Structure formats: C-alpha cells, structure tokens
Chains A and B, each alone.
Chain A
C-alpha cells in the first residue's frame, strides 16, 4: 500500500489505460525521485497524488552523434487521464559548454524551467507543462508531449527534395512567419527577465497538429556576464541563418562543391563564432534580398553593431517583410 494507491488500484489503472502492459511483479512505487537511475520502465512515480507509469528514458541526438540517453527524462503515462507525458526529474549537472573556441560553465536548472513553464502557461509557441515537488522537494516537471519533428529535421527534409530557389520562394515565407513568432516568444521571455538558455534549431518542434513552432527545453542555465540575453540572440541568429540557407552553408563543403563561390568568400563573410559557416548568404544565393542578408550580417565577423535585444532583431525582420511585400506588390502592378 502506498497512500491511496494500493498495488490492486495501480493494477486496475494500468490495465485500464495501458491494456497491453504485462505486469507479473508488484509495481515499484516512488514518491522520492532523487535516485532517477533506479526508476525504470514499468515503475510508478506518484507526484502530487497522481500516479505515472514510467515508460522508457528519452534520448537526444545532436550533430550526427549517437543519441544520448537522458536517464532523468522519462516518458510516462498519467494514470489519472491516460495522457502521455514527459517527466523530467532533477539532475544537478554542471558542464562546460563550448561554442567555437569559447567555453563557459553551464548548469541544469530545474527551478528555471519550472518558472518558465509557469510563466508561459498555454502560450502557443512553447512546450506546456506543470511542475510539482516530490516527497524530497525535488522540482519535477511534467510536460505535455508535442507530436512533430524538430525544425532542423523539417528543413533537412525539404532540402532533400527541392532546390534552394524553390525553397526560398515557396516555403521560406511561411517558415519566416513561424520563426518570427518564435522570436516574439523569446522577446516575451526576455521581457519577463528570463533567458531560454539553449536556443537551437532542434529545440524548436514543429507541432504536427497545429503547425506552430514551439520552444522546448528551458533548463539550461549559466552565470551570464554583462548581456544576459546575448547567447539567446546568438542562437536566434544561427537559427535564422539555417532557415535562410536551407541548412548550414559550410566553407569546406563550398570549397569542394562550388570553388568559384568559395574563391569570392572572405573571413568577414563567416559566422561571428563558427568559422566554417557562411553568414553572407547573398554571395551564394544572389536572389536573397539585401535587407534580409543585412540582418544575417549582424551575426557575421564583419558586424560592428550587435543586437542587444530580441526586439531589435524583430524590428528589422518586420521592416524587411513590409518592404519586401511592398516591392512584390509594386512589381505585380
């Protein structure tokens, strides 16, 4: 017996919501999640008087590396509703993040993620969920599952099927609108004094049901220096560059595939931090509008003015959009 959930009650709930689940042993029931390694497939975690049936650990892949198992992030089924959830347990991890040749200390911050979940509520451009404390005071986050693929996978899928010019004129306008919504969501966080902390193209999920782009993973944190939001802005710039280019335009690849373009590139044309990524995309795709390319160049080695806030980036994007569409209308008439 564990509180109101006896083994018999749990058996009934599991049989109701997960009829295929075979259970020969009594359930192991946890109310203290401190030792997350010991919580395994088929166990029950009770949080805020709700039992969750634990399924598998989640994985995260990055830059072609094998998927890393995240033992503190579990797929689960809410046995009160039958809904699939992601249960993020507390893992106090400190690690060194490396961006180009710069490194700095980061840490996972369950409290930050809980604050942001509470702040964003049901705003469409974020993942949704609640945070509850287990019996030991660990701040556990219970997240809704978003059906869909990452923005990175979405763009790579398009890149495997169409050429850049088709992409740019047929798909990019809608992608840009969605990106702007995402940047607005980051502006909202910043205005509330919160940073996302790990803005990447695979931390945006394209919601299969609504088509909305949604930010995930808010638990990265670091002791910022002067500009609390500089790293987020850098992330927004990288994502924009990836979207405009329909992928990363890598200098070594261009040297092999397009030596004539490679010959025209200078150091100033590359990303301010990633030396091997081209930022000055107009040199590769000349139909990219100057105003849009100018925004990308804020994230290049030739930049002498940086965006301090998401609002500044957004102002430039809105101005580009309005001018671009004005020109299109003029050309048509």
Chain B
C-alpha cells in the first residue's frame, strides 16, 4: 500500500440505527484489510445553562449520558474488532462541546485529529424534519473540505 495515503477513518456516531449501519459498513468494507485505523467519535452537545433547574440535575444528566455513551462506544468498538480490526487500530472518544452546529463540531474534531476520511450515518429525515431541524450529514457533505465523506444510509 502507498505510504502517503492517510488511512485513518473517523466514524461520527450516536445511538441511532443509522450510526450502527455506518459502523457495520466500515467493518465489512475494511475489517480484513491491514493498515487502516478507525476512531469512533461521539460529540456530546453541551446543554443550555438553565436546561436543568440546578447544577446537581445537570451533573446527574451528564453522568448518566456519559455512561450511555461509553456503553455505546464500547459496543461499536466490539463490532469493528469482530469485523477484523485489530484492538490497537480502533479507538473511541467523546467530548462535551458547545455546538451551535453539530456538523461543524464534528468537522472541527476531525481537523484536530488529522483524519482524512469521515463516515456518518444518514437518518433519512422527512422533508419537514429537515426543514425544521436541519440535517447533520447534509451539512457535513456541504461544508467539509480536504477530506472524503462517506454517508451511509
């Protein structure tokens, strides 16, 4: 394999079914090929300062959410290893960020980690949902630069 090609794959995930499909896709496609490294990324959106009535409740929410995220990332990691990735070639990270746009947050994480390929699942929003709330994968495809984006449906 040509050494100058960046073979680090970043998979942005959440607990949705489409994220699971994205992880499966990467596992099926690259699991048997040596030289690829995969990182699972979950960005936790920082809640508004008074979404919770007091700091204690916010902390409780965060601890609970963090437990769910860790469990989810461990499960996805297991899926990649089962598909053939070596233990050392799969990592996972999650970060709590202020995110006006999740797409921009994911791309910022990607830049800081120097990955060249980003994989995301697509939720398959209805027209009205996309209109009201926007689409993360749609925006990533629109604004990503200097990288390849795989959108898995």
Contact = CB atoms under 8 A, between A and B. Distances in A.
Contacts of A223: 45, 47-48, 51
A227 B136 CA distance: 8
B101 A99 contact: no
Contacts of B132: 99, 102, 227, 230-231, 234, 273
Interface residues of A, number: 28
A221 B51 contact: yes
Contacts of B84: none
Contact of B134 (A104, A110, A221, A225): A225
A226 B136 contact: yes
A226 B135 contact: yes
A286 interface: no
Contact of B131 (A109, A112, A139, A230): A230
Contacts of A230: 131-134
> A interface, by DSSP: helix, strand, loop or mixed?
loop
A107 interface: yes
B129 A109 contact: no
Contacts, number: 68
Given A111-B50, A227-B132, 11 more contacts: A109-B48, A110-B50, A139-B50, A225-B102, A225-B134, A226-B102, A230-B134, A273-B132, A303-B127, A306-B130, A306-B131
B103 A226 contact: yes
Residue from A139, A272, A301 having most chain B Cβ neighbours under 10 A: A272
B114 to A, nearest CB: 24
Interface of B: 45, 47-51, 53, 100-103, 127-136, 138-139
B82 to A, nearest CB: 31
B127 A301 contact: yes
Nearest to A298: B131
Nearest to A228: B100
19 contacts: A99-B132, A102-B128, A102-B129, A107-B51, A110-B50, A111-B49, A139-B50, A193-B100, A223-B51, A225-B133, A227-B132, A230-B131, A230-B133, A272-B128, A273-B128, A273-B131, A273-B132, A303-B131, A306-B131
Contact of B136 (A100, A221, A225, A231): A225
Contacts of A107: 48, 51
A224 interface: yes
A8 B71 CA distance: 64
B131 A272 contact: yes
Interface in A239-281: 272-273
